[in-house]
Chains A and B, each alone.
Chain A
Amino acid sequence: MELSTFSIGHEGREVFWNAEHFEPILFMLTFVAMAIFAYGVYRRWLMWTAIGKPEDRTDDRNERIKALLKNGLLQIKTWSDPYPGVMHGLIFFGFVVLFFGAAFDATEFHVAEPLGVPFLVGKFYLFFSFLMDLFGLAVLGGVLMALDRRYLTKPDRLGYKGEPDNRPDDAIVLLLIAGIIVTGFIIEALRISVTWQQTPWEVWSFVGWTLAKAFTGVSPEAAKAMHKWAWWIHTAFALGFIAYIPYSRLMHIITTPANYFMATRKPIGQLEPIKDFENAESFGVGTIEEFTWKQIFDSDACTRCGRCQDGCPAYLTGKPLSPKKLVQDLKNYWLEKAPGAVASRKEQLIASGEGAANINPKLKALFAWLDKADRIVDENLPKGPEPTEKAMVGEVVELDELWACTNCMYCMENCSAAIEHVPKIIGMRQFKVLMEADFAPELQLTYRNMENNSNPWGIGAHLRADWGKELGVKTLAEDPNVEYLFYVGCAGSFDDRGKKVSVALAKILQTAGVSFGILGTEESCCGDSAMRGGNEYLYQTMAQANIEVMNGYGVKKIICTCPHGYNALKKDYPHFGGNFEVYHHTEIIAELIEKGKIKIKIPVDDVRFTYHDSCFLGRYNQLYDQPRRIIKAIPGARLVEMDRNHEKSFCCGAGGARMWMEEHGDRINDARAKQAIDVGAKTIAVGCPFCLTMMSDGLKFHGKEEEIVALDLAEIVWKGMGLEEEKAPVEVCQA
């Protein structure tokens, strides 16, 4: 519409002002940009589908769409870190609004105006103008925050071991975005500088209005000429942005939301079991082709934001492992392998005649075209040196990295791109253990111990039930008519510290009148350490032995004191026909307290407790609240949180079979104990026998074992119940 049709009360602006005749060229350029974009996505598509085993990630579609909306559109996950959350949010939401703004403009010009129903007028126009400028500023603010973070603040997580990892692409993207916004504002300002007298309402475009003042001395003709230039630069940036997406880190605009859509729907940490050991030819993941295509796609969704690295216990204690580096190394390896794989897949398809016959002829022509384009591009791409042949496990991912992982799930829980790191690590460990039998000698000993005595310590299996002899705890063989099976686990049965926890829990349950029994010597190791250490075969042997015994007694409900057994029984045993209701003892104790079945009577005198979240309770099973409720039920207890708690808790270092392996350099448990010492805790409450050992050792390392104590919640509660008969200290030498 002409400028003259607008007035106060009927505000608006001339869309394509001063650029009316550029429109056909704009159309053409947009088409070119879109074509470059589409071709880039198509090439990537070929690469995604060329390597990897098939895997279906489209079931449960409604939930997948929800995940996509929640984290792709609303970006919920990014907000868990305030600065980067705000930074990304300003850019992302700003861009979304501006994108719709541009679409509104186009619709107004091409559809609404010709139809005689313009809508960008009046109050809506004013609101629209204000909104566009506001969100334009937001994007600029976000870009400035990003520039500051990447080039000035330089948090370690954007690099690796103190070395920054900034690539030209990172800067290009940020400058491109800033360029689009700045030129947009300049265009607006130049337009307003020419028309402001007729359009006083343009004050609502507050950025353009303010900037326009900078052009007060410029003649309208000069302003219009400058406006034309700025308009073209703006257009070039915007279209360049679109075309650049599939060739840069901007690709995450597509891959990250797609990865949310395809994120696993299985319970957290559940591992797909290896089936049919007898007939499988290989086990685990030794080559990139043995990953599923989705596991490879993961690495293309990674934005190198480093959230994973920020809380990785291995990384933070100086180990070579960084989940980010691992994913990026796999990505680079995939990028090396992909062109060859794409070529051989094309040949395969041609040779088999597959696909082509069923494709409709028009599409066939399109694909022929694309193939031709591919050949031209491939021939003209700068050729780097031939990549050297590397072993994926051992060279691309070094063994020290592979074995440093504690399976703590921090990376997966905190990844804002839904990348699944841990199953990849376990897959590669399976390859080393099952195929090559090449792994740490101390872990070999652990596995032999589990094979021979069904516990990692290798203590005689016949001693498994000795901890409960004096308590009158019955086995299911003696009395199968009980409500709960107390699955004691190896630590609770064989480790002196763990046995005390078993005793405390048994006494609590007896006092509360809970009906329970144990399996005694019929119990086997849960197998968690074998599973997470890559020995799936041994793990399944253990699991099947337990399930057979449990099903034999018709067990329905199970209480575990060890979160590793808890998690395995709850999530992984159903794969083998073990379907039980599994509880952790902190769930049971919290409920007994709330129902008044037990009472913590003995007050503690203003003692500072801290609670160390066990990974397999917290991140794996969201049991954050029950343990804390137990502490709050202790009269006089004060609960102080360590900086890293709940979803961001710091592992003790014992998960993922690390409990049984040598740790070189700074120890994870010492680092965690320090965090507890730093908040002034006097008691470190835990809910896991591995954590208990690790925290106790950490306290000793810092020389604090006299002042601070690590206790399991069962021990704390039993002591607080005040029912333990005080035993007179034994006089060894009578006076």
Chain B
Amino acid sequence: MNIVACVKQVPDTEAQIKVKGDGSGIEEGGIKWVMNPYDEFGVEESLKLKEKFGGEVTIVSVGPARTMETIRTALAMGADKGVQIDDPALYNADAYATAEALAAAIKGVSYDIIFCGQRAIDDDSAQVGSILAEILGIPQVTFATKLEIDGTAVKATRPIEGAAVVVATSLPCVITATKGLNEPRYASLPGIMKAKKKPVDIKKAADLGVTGASKSKVAKFTPPPARPPGKILCADDTPEGKAAELAKLLREEAKVI
């Protein structure tokens, strides 16, 4: 079984995000870049399928030179090869342009199943996996927390409000992974060393026959407003008094109830 796992490099969740003065993006200096955590679930599931059914795992990523580190991380975990799509035309690509580039790259690879993270933690758009499946013309199951494959039959579990549904489909398909699907492994040291020598193709948009043109554009980035100071409820010292005051403030000042 040949497997493709799409990964995105994103800022670490703890990184300090500063918006550029002109609002065109974020300051990249001093940021620690990591693999999108949801993509890690996809990579781990790929490796599990490979261990079970054999085959090859290919990592595909769109991003600038630094993205290579994330691809190597996935290779260290056990993936076999990588494709990096590094083109300035795609540096601020929207979900569509990204999915289009990924699809073009994946068409050149033999695949039975494709994994994406359910969304990237930086832009939270949650669209790439779905658009990718549409472009490739194959089924998709999003937010998978459990995956069973038997021959070409696929059963994926996805959470819905207070319950779970099991969706049946068949290979080839796109699965977007979410927390609960697995526990991503820690790379072994021989894995890390071997990853340095595994092949990674670097492609331009033109190599893939795509323009990298986005259908949407981020108009402006703005940092969240500074958090106003807290308020201590002082009017009455009894619990009842405090509750009444809180209700009043929530209704009249915060206007949330």
Contacts and interface: CB of A to CB of B under 8 A. Distances in A.
Interface of A: 277-278, 282-283, 433-437, 439, 441, 444, 447-448, 452-453, 458-463, 537, 732-734
Interface stretch (B107-115, B118-126, B155-163, B188-196): B188-196
A426 to B, nearest CB: 15
Contacts of B237: 733
A278 B192 CA distance: 10
B14 A537 contact: no
Contacts of A436: 188
Interface string B1-43: 0000000000010111000000000000010101000000000
B189 A453 contact: no
Given A434-B190, A444-B186, A463-B16, 14 more contacts: A277-B189, A283-B190, A434-B189, A435-B188, A435-B189, A437-B185, A437-B186, A437-B187, A437-B188, A453-B32, A461-B14, A462-B15, A732-B234, A733-B234
A435 B190 contact: yes
20 contacts: A277-B193, A278-B193, A283-B190, A434-B188, A437-B185, A437-B186, A437-B188, A447-B186, A452-B12, A453-B12, A458-B14, A459-B14, A460-B12, A460-B16, A462-B15, A462-B30, A732-B232, A732-B234, A733-B234, A734-B234
Interface of B: 12, 14-16, 30, 32, 34, 183, 185-193, 232, 234, 237
A537 B234 CA distance: 55
A537 B32 contact: no
Contact of B189 (A441, A459, A537): A537
Nearest to A735: B234
Contacts of B192: 537
A727 B192 CA distance: 53
B188 A441 contact: no
Nearest to A462: B16
Contacts of B186: 433, 437, 439, 444, 447-448
Contacts of A732: 232, 234
A561 B84 CA distance: 45
A441 B16 CA distance: 26
A732 B237 CA distance: 12
A463 B187 CA distance: 28
A444 B16 CA distance: 23
A671 to B, nearest CB: 31
B1 to A, nearest CB: 23
A438 to B, nearest CB: 9
Contacts of B234: 732-734
B41 to A, nearest CB: 14
A661 to B, nearest CB: 14
Given A278-B193, A441-B183, A462-B30, A453 B188 contact: no
Nearest to B233: A733
A460 B34 CA distance: 13
A441 B32 CA distance: 22
Contacts of B189: 277, 283, 434-435, 537
Contacts of A461: 14, 32
Nearest to B189: A434
Name which of B14, B15, B32, B34 has the most chain A CB atoms within 10 A of its CB. B14
A660 B191 CA distance: 24
Contacts of A733: 232, 234, 237
Contacts of B34: 452
A79 to B, nearest CB: 44
A460 B232 CA distance: 29
A433 B187 CA distance: 9
Nearest to B237: A733
Given A437-B185, A732-B234, A733-B234, A452 B32 contact: yes
A277 B32 CA distance: 24
B230 to A, nearest CB: 11
Contacts of A537: 189, 192
Contacts of B191: 437
Given A277-B193, A462-B30, A452 B232 contact: no
B210 to A, nearest CB: 32
A414 B234 CA distance: 60
Name which of A447, A448, A459, A462 has the most chain B CB atoms within 10 A of its CB. A462
A444 B32 CA distance: 18
A274 to B, nearest CB: 9
Name which of B183, B187, B193 has the most chain A CB atoms within 10 A of its CB. B193
Contacts of A463: 16
A615 to B, nearest CB: 27
B248 to A, nearest CB: 17
A406 B30 CA distance: 35
Contacts of B185: 437
Nearest to A732: B232
A51 B237 CA distance: 76
Contacts of B183: 441
A282 B193 CA distance: 11
Contacts of A283: 189-190
A439 B183 CA distance: 12
A439 B187 CA distance: 11
Contacts of B14: 452-453, 458-461
A539 to B, nearest CB: 12
A220 B188 CA distance: 82
Contacts of A433: 186
A463 B15 CA distance: 10
B140 to A, nearest CB: 29
B6 to A, nearest CB: 21
Given A452-B34, A733-B234, A460 B15 contact: yes
Contacts of A444: 186
B44 to A, nearest CB: 12
A462 B31 CA distance: 9
A463 B16 CA distance: 9
Name which of B30, B188, B192 has the most chain A CB atoms within 10 A of its CB. B188
Name which of A283, A436, A437, A452 has the most chain B CB atoms within 10 A of its CB. A437
Nearest to B76: A437
Nearest to B196: A278
B40 to A, nearest CB: 10
A544 to B, nearest CB: 16
Nearest to B187: A437
Contacts of A277: 189, 193
Nearest to B31: A462
Name which of B32, B187, B189, B237 has the most chain A CB atoms within 10 A of its CB. B189
Name which of B185, B190, B232 has the most chain A CB atoms within 10 A of its CB. B190
A439 B190 CA distance: 16
